[in-house]
């Protein structure tokens, strides 16, 4: 190929690659999933669960350290209390946002599984139990713990500013 044709070759190759990828995606969306795909989806669900576990562990560890620092600051370091409270609320809110994204990833995986699962698939489900209840969903630790920590820090600010002399 002459050097001058490189740009045209690259553009043609890219268009062909995109077209092939779209065709493969179309074929995959029309086919059903069986046992091999169940194993893949199950592993992806497991990975999301492990990430949620790590994030909750980080949240609880950091909050524990902040509350321990609050215990030291309560008597002699009142000027640190708003900073500790703000840090506690911001880290809780940040963790909540990534936990919501992880939950959406769960939902997306399960929706894909449900829409592609073969009618004659007789293996175990890719996840143990699914609840459609919003109350149960909000009571899960990855939703409730960040909210409870935020409320705890708001309570600390209120007590520190209005009920301490």
Give the domain extent around 53: 40-163
Instruction: Give the orientation angle of helix 141-158 with respect to helix 35-76, to 10 degrees.
Output: 10
pLDDT at residue 134, rounded to an integer: 78
What mean pLDDT do residues 75-92 have? Answer: 95
How many structural domains compose the chain? Answer: 1
Does residue 152 form part of some domain?
Answer: yes
pLDDT (tens digit, 9 = 90+) per residue, 14-64?
Answer: 555 666 655 655 665 567 888 888 899 999 999 999 999 999 999 999 999
Q: Looking at the domain assignment, is residue 130 inside a domain? A: yes
**100 occurs within a structural domain:** yes
Q: Please write the tens of the pLDDT for every residue from 3-28.
A: 555 555 555 555 556 666 556 556 65
Whether 1 has a pLDDT exceeding 60, the answer reads no
User: What local confidence, expressed as pLDDT, does residue 124 receive?
Assistant: 87
Cβ-based burial of 110 (10 A; exposed 0-12, middle 13-18, buried ≥19) = middle
Is the dihedral angle over the CA atoms 101, 102, 108, 111 positive or is it negative?
Answer: negative
Cα 162 from chain centroid? Answer: 37
- Residue range 110-156, pLDDT digits in tens: 999 999 998 888 888 888 888 788 788 778 888 899 999 999 999 99
* 138, part of any domain: yes
Would you say residue 116 lies in a domain? yes
- For residue 34, is it within any domain? no
Category of 106 on φ-ψ map: left (φ > 0), alpha (ψ -120 to 50) or beta:
alpha
Q: pTM, whole model, 2 decimals? A: 0.74
Flag whether 21 is in a domain: no
Q: Report yes or no on 124 lying in a domain.
A: yes
């Amino acid at each position: 190929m002459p050097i001058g044709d490189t740009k045209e070759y690259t553009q043609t190759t890219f268009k062909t690659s995109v077209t092939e990828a779209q065709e493969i995606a179309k074929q995959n969306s029309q086919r059903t999933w069986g046992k091999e795909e169940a194993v893949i989806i199950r592993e992806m669900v497991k990975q999301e669960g492990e990430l949620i576990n790590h994030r909750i562990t980080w949240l609880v560890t950091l909050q524990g350290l902040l509350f321990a620092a609050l215990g030291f600051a309560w008597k002699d370091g009142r000027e640190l209390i708003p900073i500790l409270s703000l840090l506690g609320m911001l880290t809780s809110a940040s963790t909540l946002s990534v936990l919501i994204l992880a939950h959406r990833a769960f939902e997306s995986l399960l929706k894909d599984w449900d829409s592609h699962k073969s009618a004659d698939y007789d293996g175990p489900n890719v996840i143990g139990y699914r609840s459609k209840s919003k109350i149960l969903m909000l009571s899960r630790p990855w939703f409730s713990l960040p909210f409870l920590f935020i409320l705890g820090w708001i309570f600390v600010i209120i007590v520190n500013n209005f009920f301490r002399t």
